[in-house]
Amino acid sequence: MFREKIINEFAEDNRRDSANEIIDKIAKCHWCGSRFVKSHSSEVYCSSFCRESAREEQSRDKAIRWYHRNKEFLSDDARYGLGSGWLGGHRHFDFDDELRVVENELVRLKIRK
């Protein structure tokens, strides 16, 4: 339908060949879905914003897949070492709240059961 519409537009001016050339260069963006004219055959994104957004999501998905594939093989240092804690940067002003958080962390780190 889209192809026919463009060919009909160009057919009025007897430019059917150039219409086909342009149609071959029109593609749908893999990120936002809008139509754009390709400047080379392997182009799949309409703009650098779409390309970078897609790359960010691909690397995020890749990191998540990597973690779930390898989490059982991570060293104890990577799982429980420095920087892996869930304690906040500031203490609780209520002593009981602080005690509860520290005890939960001791259990998580398998220091206390």
Q: Which residues bind Zn ion (CB under 5 A)?
A: 29, 31-32, 46, 50
Q: What is the largest CA-CA distance in the chain?
A: 84
Q: Rounded to the nearest whole angstrom, what is the least distance from the CB of residue 90 to Zn ion in the complex?
A: 43
- Our measurement of the distance from residue 40's CA atom to the centroid of its chain's CA atoms, rounded to an integer in Å, reads 24
Q: Rounded to the nearest whole angstrom, what is the least distance from the CB of residue 36 to Zn ion in the complex?
A: 7
Cβ closest to Zn ion, residue 20 vs residue 53: 53
Q: Please check whether residue 54 is in contact with residue 30, taking contact to mean a CB–CB distance below 8 angstroms.
A: yes
Q: Rounded to the nearest whole angstrom, what is the least distance from the CB of residue 58 to Zn ion in the complex?
A: 15
Cβ closest to Zn ion, residue 10 vs residue 36: 36
Cβ closest to Zn ion, residue 43 vs residue 105: 43
Give the closest residue to 5 by CA, choosing from 32, 31, 35: 35
With 0-12 CB in 10 A as exposed, 13-18 as middle and 19+ as buried, what is 70? Answer: exposed
Q: Rounded to the nearest whole angstrom, what is the least distance from the CB of residue 63 to Zn ion in the complex?
A: 23
Element housing 93 (H / E): none
Cβ closest to Zn ion, residue 10 vs residue 31: 31
